[in-house]
Structure 1
Amino acid sequence: MIDSDGFRPNVGIILANPQGEVLWARRIGQDAWQFPQGGINDRESPEEALFRELGEEVGLSINDVKIIACTRGWLRYRLPRRMVRQHSHPVCVGQKQKWFLLEMLCPDDRVCMDRTSSPEFDGWQWVSYWYPLGQVVSFKRDVYRKALRELAPRLLPMQEPASKHRKEQQVSRRRRQERPEC
């Protein structure tokens, strides 16, 4: 399902542990690392795609995570020309992504990258929240920056400006505990 501008709808997954580190996955057979992500199928909501992709790529279920937040709109990246399949119809020039920030509720040993017959990843590690910006392939970097910046206040409340009053911080904490509208 490619839109009229040539972008394929997709979900991006930022999975955080209780220490605020994020899951960083290595693409199978490559020295390329990224956040888990995947396409949204016809008649599938972004949230449904999120949980399907989470199961396929990371081996986790809806009960293993909690949605903390999601990006307000679509974030787009264009593929480099050499990666665009010119002979496919319609031509996909890139991806438009809805990003989800999840809190992992289960032990690390529940992560399993090979639950499907064709896994996309062969390894993973916990990294600091901002680490992926310096490591991701260049054509995805701007989308990663936008997603991480938008979602950071929901995961990293300690990095909020020190000028906030205690009462405002308590309201912010309560808001984080409510289910986000994604």
Structure 2
Amino acid sequence: MKHIALALFLLTLTSCAAFKLVKPQSATVHGITLTPTSSWNKVNGNPHKKSQLWTKDGLALNELYIIGNIADGETIFKSSNKELPLPSFKAGMLPNELEEFVKTSLKNSHGGSINVNTESMAPQMIGEDVGFRMELSYFLEGGLKKSVDALVAVKNDKLYMVMYVSPSLHYAERYKAEVNSIFGSISVL
């Protein structure tokens, strides 16, 4: 029954979402400048007031979250479950604490029903700023494996993150070169 409700919810969400074309040119979103190499679709109705959500093929197939200007005490997603609150960003978090913050945010945004695993994590320059890139994965209740590729930076005590989420089969690899190009173009204002 849960799976049917989830499927209906996703269909409703996808059918109600209005999309706007994002052309392959430089864009600035919540303090992050990035340049896609092909067109994307911006979803109206973002998961947070300080984020944008882009997709190539539709929600649940591939999602590019652009989240910026997250101040101390703020979350990266909208809370939908008061009994399972989302963690808050804290200025001064170390990379391992940011990793746990992102993993717990993903887990709690799925109602606590997933376990998020770290596949890799390494420092990476983001423009002129030091950040890090992490690859995560998790399984949905129905068994579908999702891949998460995230680029994270903290500048002036604010969090900036671009995160690509897609099914591990097909979509993670299909847009890997595009995501790498976008990640290479990112700078934080």
The two structures share one fold, judged by TM-score above 0.5 = no
Q: Larger helix proportion, structure 1 or 2? A: 1
Structure with more of its chain in strand, by fraction: 2
Q: Which structure exhibits the higher relative contact order, with contacts defined as CA atoms closer than 8 Å and separated by 6 or more residues?
A: 1
Give the structure-2-normalised TM-score. Answer: 0.30
Q: Tell me the TM-score normalised to structure 1 length.
A: 0.31
